[in-house]
Chains A and B, each alone.
Chain A
């Protein structure tokens, strides 16, 4: 089963959503069936959603061991954060 039914990661953009969010994974023999299954399992068929399925093997993730090398430097240099500008009232929530 696992040989013929690879793992797919499922990303869904909900009706009023701006971006696709990762919602989970499933096994399916090919992309088309993965989309069908994702629609049955994850969307309950809401109108107006978009589904992306990606083979899990096609995803490259950052390594947990690299966490400090990748993300720490920015944290200690506040001047990298563009938060020191006075913002006009109209765009408060930007």
Chain B
């Protein structure tokens, strides 16, 4: 739960940084929309995680009072926004995985998870359609936009595999029928990403390339600390305030 919640939380925070900075008014709206969707999903996951934990903590505790080493998000979501192509590529890789994961989770043996996934899937379907569409437009756009998308893809690819590197927690989830199998997810991910990149005239790096990992167990890149410092400042300064 925590992992799902943290992924959505941090990516949402990243997208919020772009508010008012998008390349066009409509893109600004769309990015904010995606950020809000993800934040809504964050709240559902973290609320459930807090309940399961049973320590009387709330979604706000989990979002604002954990430090980087306690965060369980994948490394890809904490990567900086970069240029717009980079933001979109990060979004597309995340959305693709997110979509197939939510699809799998709607069949989860845990009814609460299935319910959250059901609700999220509607939103994620739109996210994926939009980011895929823009990757194609920019990849198959001008020489400059194509070059930017390719370098974004090359830079982000090594962060795209962490979602499929399962540890004991994941394996337990699969065994209990709570979460879908990594190999299936990865196959769907590669197939969809491959189709979009082909259409976008981008070269997809090899599927067996070396992949970063560590985010899921709290070993993060140097970027997350800055994001958290900004995000948590007020709650750290005035702990326990009502808002």
Contact = CB atoms under 8 A, between A and B. Distances in A.
Q: Does B bind A?
A: yes
Contacts of B3: none
Interface residues on chain B, size class: under 10
Contact of B29 (A1, A5, A41): A41
Interface stretch (A31-39, A59-67, A84-92): A31-39
A5 B106 CA distance: 39
Contact of A26 (B26, B33, B126): B26
Nearest to A5: B24
Nearest to B23: A1
A72 interface: no
A12 interface: no
B61 to A, nearest CB: 30
Interface in B12-61: 24-26, 29-30, 33
A32 B133 contact: yes
Interface of A: 1, 5, 26-28, 32-33, 36-37, 40-41, 45
Contacts of A41: 26, 29
Contacts, number: 26
A37 B30 contact: yes
B107 interface: no
Contact of A33 (B25, B26, B126): B26
B130 interface: yes
Nearest to B28: A40
Question: 9 shortest A-B CB distances, which residue pairs?
Answer: A37-B26, A40-B29, A40-B30, A40-B33, A41-B29, A36-B130, A28-B26, A26-B26, A41-B26
A37 B29 contact: yes
A27 B30 contact: no
A33 B29 CA distance: 13
A43 B30 CA distance: 12
Contacts of A27: 24-26
A23 to B, nearest CB: 15
Contacts of B30: 36-37, 40
A26 B30 CA distance: 13
A7 to B, nearest CB: 12
A20 to B, nearest CB: 20
A58 B159 CA distance: 46
Chain A CB within 10 Å, residue with most, of B24, B26, B33:
B26
Contacts of A1: 24
Interface string B110-129: 00000000000000001000
A61 B134 CA distance: 34
A40 B133 contact: no
22 contacts: A1-B24, A26-B25, A27-B24, A27-B25, A27-B26, A28-B26, A32-B133, A33-B26, A33-B133, A36-B26, A36-B30, A36-B130, A37-B26, A37-B30, A40-B26, A40-B29, A40-B30, A40-B33, A41-B26, A41-B29, A45-B33, A45-B126
Given A27-B24, A36-B26, A40-B33, 18 more contacts: A1-B24, A5-B24, A26-B25, A27-B25, A27-B26, A28-B26, A32-B133, A33-B26, A33-B133, A36-B30, A36-B133, A37-B26, A37-B29, A37-B30, A40-B26, A40-B29, A40-B30, A41-B29
